[in-house]
């Protein structure tokens, strides 16, 4: 028999749409970033169809949640601004993602490091904190 997980008594989407705040009946509260929820989506697209290792999702550092849709009395469907909307986040999963956030996030960062990739490979390098006023030109042989 499946374990019953109580529904959060509060689910709030941040004004900037970059995090979801959850409060459960026992007062356990979690703020989960949109990026975290997106890369750990329960969808088959991310989790895989055969139960193997999860897909390594990149480029979601700036993703936003555009909608939170209730699904019966057991889950919510999160719709992200990148078009992803196929994962159903049941109460047990949301609780587990909150309780084990640091463990999951460190695992994700480790996988990125092992693969030699960044969280957001499309991110532009920040501009230099100074202006280049002149260039000395190529070095001259001595």
Tell me, yes or no, whether 138 lies in a domain: no
Nearest to 105 by CA among 35, 13, 20, 21: 35
Tell me, yes or no, whether 120 lies in a domain: no
Yes or no: say if 88 and 77 are a contact pair by the CB < 8 Å rule.
yes
Domain housing 15:
10-115
Q: Above pLDDT 90, what percent of the chain?
A: 65
> Over the Cα atoms of the chain, what is R_g?
20
Yes or no: say if 38 and 85 are a contact pair by the CB < 8 Å rule.
no
Tell me, yes or no, whether 70 lies in a domain: yes
> In CATH, what number is assigned to the domain containing residue 29?
3.30.2020.30
Tell me, yes or no, whether 100 lies in a domain: yes
- What's the CA gap between 62 and 64, in Å, rounded? 7
For the segment 85-89, the average pLDDT, to the nearest whole number, is 93
Q: Is the pLDDT of residue 117 over 50?
A: yes
Tell me, yes or no, whether 49 lies in a domain: yes
Tokens (6 digits) for 78: 């999160």
- Structural domain total, the chain: 1
Q: What pLDDT is stored for residue 4 in this prediction? A: 77
Tell me, yes or no, whether 141 lies in a domain: no
Q: Is the pLDDT of residue 28 over 50?
A: yes
Q: What pLDDT is stored for residue 50 in this prediction? A: 61
Q: pTM for this structure? A: 0.80
């Amino acid at each position: 028999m499946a374990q019953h997980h109580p529904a959060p008594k509060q689910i709030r989407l941040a004004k900037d749409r970059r995090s979801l705040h959850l409060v459960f009946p026992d007062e356990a509260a979690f703020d989960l970033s949109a990026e975290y929820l997106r890369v750990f989506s329960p969808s088959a697209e991310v989790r895989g169809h055969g139960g193997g290792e999860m897909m390594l999702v990149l480029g979601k550092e700036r993703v936003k949640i555009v909608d939170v849709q209730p699904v019966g009395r057991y889950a919510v469907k999160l719709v992200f601004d990148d078009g992803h909307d196929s994962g159903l986040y049941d109460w047990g999963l949301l609780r587990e993602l909150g309780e084990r956030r640091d463990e999951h996030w460190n695992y994700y960062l480790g996988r990125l490091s092992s693969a030699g990739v960044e969280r957001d490979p499309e991110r532009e390098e920040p501009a230099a904190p100074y202006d280049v006023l002149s260039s000395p030109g190529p070095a001259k042989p001595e």
